[in-house]
Structure 1
Amino acid sequence: MRFLLLFLIPLAAFSQIENQSQKFDSIYYHIAINVSSANPVKAIHLADSLSLYAANKQQKIKSLMLIADILAKQEKRGEAIIKALSVLEIVKEAKEYVLLARNYGFLATQYRMIGFLDKGKSFLNEGIKVSRLFSDKKQVVNYIAMCNQELAEFALVEKDYKKMIEYLQLAMLTFEKEENLQAKYFVMANAEEMLGRSYLFLGDVDQAISHFSKANFFINDAGAGNTIWASLIYQSLGNAFLESKNLDSAGVYLKKSLSVAKDSNHGSLKQRVFRSVSEYYYQVKEIDSFTIYNSKYNTQLAKNTAEKRLMINTAYNSLNERPEEK
């Protein structure tokens, strides 16, 4: 999916949780990780409520950024970009540098996802510049780690898998030190899944399975075993087992992935899962099931292709409406 995860990790994941905002952060995390995956419409309403009842400007901004994030999870990237660009002006005026840098990171991800690589990298560079203004040096380190993970995503698009591994290993040096265990397990799960994919592209199936297996443990330890992120990990693990001809294990994980993906609104995840499931049924010679899921894959592929064109047009139009960004 990357999907993404795709985007940079959830905005609350690396924040320093202060006593007076623990309840807000707990609700925020629940909406961002669990509700947005299972019920994005409900997640939007909850994020709107968070915005209305925000206790301060920082919480207000976080809530607005969460709405953009939920839109992105539904693959409404044009709307997500427009929302994030509007929030950008609010954050600049408030001089909330941590949130400003994260918003730049979010925009970098969205532009990468629709193929605007240079624009995406320019937003990432802006975020790195802003991070130098953070008063808390630990937050600087955490932000650079998130940027390294995002740079790994760019390396994936550019098919530079060795560079992808280097960026991920740098990011994980910081992720491993995260004190908030739920956040730590979540970001480590996503990093391990990406490492697995990089090794799979390099033809090292055993290493890929090892990293996907670690991702599987981490995502469940994070309490996110029924989310779209978990579905991606199960699909990746099942796909690696297909490569190694371990069909029994492949079937277990691909069916777990399908059980989450089929009820989601994430088109690119469905496309990946339908393709892997159809390949599984082809290899086990269940031709009727292969035909069903191959048809689902082709239908989803056509739908995603049309929607991506629309997303690109929306993103382009959003730039034209902002001459300073053009």
Structure 2
Amino acid sequence: MKFIKTLLFSCLSISSVIAQKDTDINRKFDSIYFATAVNTAAGDINKAIRIADSLHKHSKLAIHQLKALMLSSSLFQQKGDIKKSVQYAVKADSIAVKHKNYDWEARIAGFLSTQYRIMGLYEEGEEYLEKGKNVSHKIENEQMKKLYLGMIYQETAYYEIEYEQYKKAYKAAKSADDYFNQLVYSEQDRDYFLATNEQLLGRVCIGLNKWDEASEHYNKALGKLTKVTQENAMLSGFIYSGLGRVHLEKKEMTIAFENLLKAEEIVENSDYLELKIEVYKTLADYYQLSKDIVKYAKYNDKYVEALALSEKKKKESITDFVNTTKSKGKILAQNRNVLLIVSIVLSILIVLTFIWQRRSRKHERERFREVMSRMRQAQFEKEQEQTVIAVSERKDPNRKIMSDAIEAKILKDLKDFERGNKYTDKQISLPILAGMLKTNTKYLSHVLNTYLNKDFNTYINELRIKYIIEKIEQDERFKNYKLSVLAEECGFSSHSKFSAVFKAITGFSPSTFLAYLEESKSA
């Protein structure tokens, strides 16, 4: 009996030691995990990635491996490497599914939804968002359920921002706020999530042009953030940038500059592309409003460079998504490529036929009048309106790769773009235009080919030729300019390319066109 009591006591002692050891391991892991995610990542994201990899490699518990993988995924997202971010998240998801860890399944579903939103693959992202909602209902821990429902509503708000539905975004963000305020298991976590949500509400209020309310939310975010992390955390960068934008819109230049300097200090020590894009764009706008052309050019160049790199990484991520994670998507992509090739061939045949028909001297004067009529601004606006109206009539269900709302938004944004003259910028490219319109190159190319029957180069070249013809008509000096000057004015790199494109679009060489224009005015 004494032996049995001794054995039982020994077992209980061993169990107590093991339990204490597990608690110590968990505490140590969580300490390193949080410090890496919030503090180390703000100063040296590559070091943070190395720590996350080490955590994964040396962790024996499945939950620790899963959390380390998701930390790596989050860090790669900050760097703009969506491809690796998704790869790590998918590995983590497989562990969560295997162990029926519903709270992490919900979190990962929300995270993957974010990645696809960043890539511009909104429909795929919303599928993961729906999965996150469904999995959340399986979570038994009420606190975890509230946390992930809050995160899901946050992500819903970001989707509404992408669609420019700011009132809906505000409502979703307030719902997230309600859930985060109910968190009682950790004041540190609650404050951090509330800080992220206040920053989100500030961004939404900017979209609603509610500058004072936006400022209030950003300052609340700073107040919450200082309780849980260092001042130079990534979230602080977005907050200071947002405050800079608010005060810039209110023409409070000194306060705007102070906040933008803080944001710039953070962004210069960061590889977070989305933060770089936002901060450099706001700084460029500040210096433009301050009439400091040199610094405006400097920060605008930085903005364009970061935007182009972001679009490049998005394109690579989309390609990887198609090739490795979606076999069905791969088949659809192949079909789209075939359709694209057929479309290009047909476009080339149409252009060649157009040029061949226009070479007949018998109809040159009629053609000239037709070109001039087509290039008139009123007619051009009318054609663009008809293009938007005809969207529902010209759909081909077999080529549908995005929702009607996204297609309509891209068409509307293209119309706004055409009213300006940014197409005369020599740096304009498909990725840069996609970034300006807040979409991705795949969707933009699809809309251009489907609804305008043009590829990107044809689209930009036609806008440039229309622009220079209007200049020639409105200003007599342009008739005496050399072709190189005309080419430079409308954004072409050389007069030879300008001449070739001019003739391809109008059917005339620039010199012949000028001669007919002079003849028509003297008639």
With the length of structure 2 as denominator, give the TM-score of the two structures.
0.56
* CA deviation profile, 1:158-209 (whole Å, cap 9, x unmatched): 1111111111111111212333232222211211111112111112111111
Q: Which residue of 2 aligns with 1:7?
A: none
Decide which of 49, 52, 55 is 1:50's aligned counterpart. 55
Decide which of 214, 217, 220 is 2:220's aligned counterpart. 214
Query: Identical aligned pairs, as a percentage?
Result: 29
Quick check: 1:313 aligned with 2:313? no
* CA deviation profile, 1:11-55 (whole Å, cap 9, x unmatched): xxxxxxx95422211211111112223222211221122123324
Aligned partner letter, 2:141: D
Quick check: 1:249 aligned with 2:250? no
Decide which of 266, 272, 277 is 1:266's aligned counterpart. 272
* CA deviation profile, 1:205-234 (whole Å, cap 9, x unmatched): 111111112122222222232022111110
8 Å Cα contact 2:143-2:183 kept in structure 1 = no
Quick check: 1:64 aligned with 2:63? no
Q: Which residue of 2 aligns with 1:14?
A: none
Q: Which residue of 2 aligns with 1:199?
A: 205
Q: Which residue of 2 aligns with 1:30?
A: 35
Of residues 26-35 and 234-243 in structure 1, the stretch that sits farther from structure 2 once superposed is: 26-35
Q: Distance in 1 between matches of 2:308 and 2:61?
A: 44
Q: Which residue of 2 aligns with 1:303?
A: 309
Q: Which residue of 1 aligns with 2:84?
A: 79
| Number of equivalences | 308
8 Å Cα contact 1:235-1:276 kept in structure 2 = yes
SS in 2 for 1:302: helix
8 Å Cα contact 1:79-1:314 kept in structure 2 = no
8 Å Cα contact 2:195-2:221 kept in structure 1 = yes
Q: Distance in 2 between matches of 1:320 and 1:57?
A: 26
Q: Distance in 1 between matches of 2:253 and 2:150?
A: 36
Decide which of 96, 105, 121 is 2:101's aligned counterpart. 96
Q: Which residue of 2 aligns with 1:12?
A: none
Structure 1 residue 323, shift from structure 2 partner: 8.2
Structure 1: gaps spanning 5 or more residues: 1-17
With the length of structure 1 as denominator, give the TM-score of the two structures.
0.88
SS in 1 for 2:226: helix
Q: Name the structure with the higher helix share.
A: 2
Structure 2: gaps spanning 5 or more residues: 1-21, 333-523
Change (3 A) 1:43 1:238: same
Q: Which residue of 2 aligns with 1:3?
A: none
Aligned partner letter, 1:155: E
Q: Distance in 1 between matches of 2:71 and 2:304?
A: 32
SS in 2 for 1:221: coil
Q: Distance in 1 between matches of 2:278 and 2:53?
A: 31
Residue pairs, 1:33-182, within 5 angstroms: 33-179=38-184, 180-182=186-188
Q: Give the superposed CA RMSD.
A: 2.0
Structure 1 residue 252, shift from structure 2 partner: 0.4
8 Å Cα contact 1:267-1:304 kept in structure 2 = yes
Change (3 A) 1:303 1:49: closer
Aligned partner letter, 1:136: N
Structure 1 residue 242, shift from structure 2 partner: 0.1
* CA deviation profile, 1:252-295 (whole Å, cap 9, x unmatched): 00000000112211122112111111222222333332222122
Q: Distance in 1 between matches of 2:230 and 2:318?
A: 30
Decide which of 215, 232, 240 is 1:226's aligned counterpart. 232
Structure 1 residue 321, shift from structure 2 partner: 5.2
SS in 2 for 1:185: helix
Q: Distance in 2 between matches of 1:289 and 1:267?
A: 20
Aligned partner letter, 2:304: N
8 Å Cα contact 2:93-2:105 kept in structure 1 = yes
